[in-house]
Structure 1
């Protein structure tokens, strides 16, 4: 069984603040807009991390192609 880490340790101050901020009626469109903002933010972080690792490891497009075509 997978548990939510937040329930084991409690919510941090930022999480509580966000819950208070969004503790109001929102339309489906507003909810969707907020989801898009969060996805955009985390996508940017993921791309930055990928670029950092790619540079750190010296990976090339050829390396990625080999990884994609390897048998699992």
Structure 2
């Protein structure tokens, strides 16, 4: 498996978050993403949050440019 990432910039937030996180394993990426979601966005760590975050993982590394906002 290659590098994977999750990009918070693609989602609306009150603080206009500019964080993108990447890691070499899904386990490491998930832990970092959960810590970010809980500490910055005040989500509650739960199995549902973890499952949702995992669906947002992408292959590669995040772009230096802000991605387009995700649609619901």
TM-score by length of 2: 0.26
The structure whose residues are more often strand, as a share, is: 2
TM-score (norm 1): 0.26
- Greater Rg over alpha carbons, structure: 1
Q: With CA pairs under 8 Å and 6+ residues apart, which has the higher RCO, 1 or 2?
A: 2
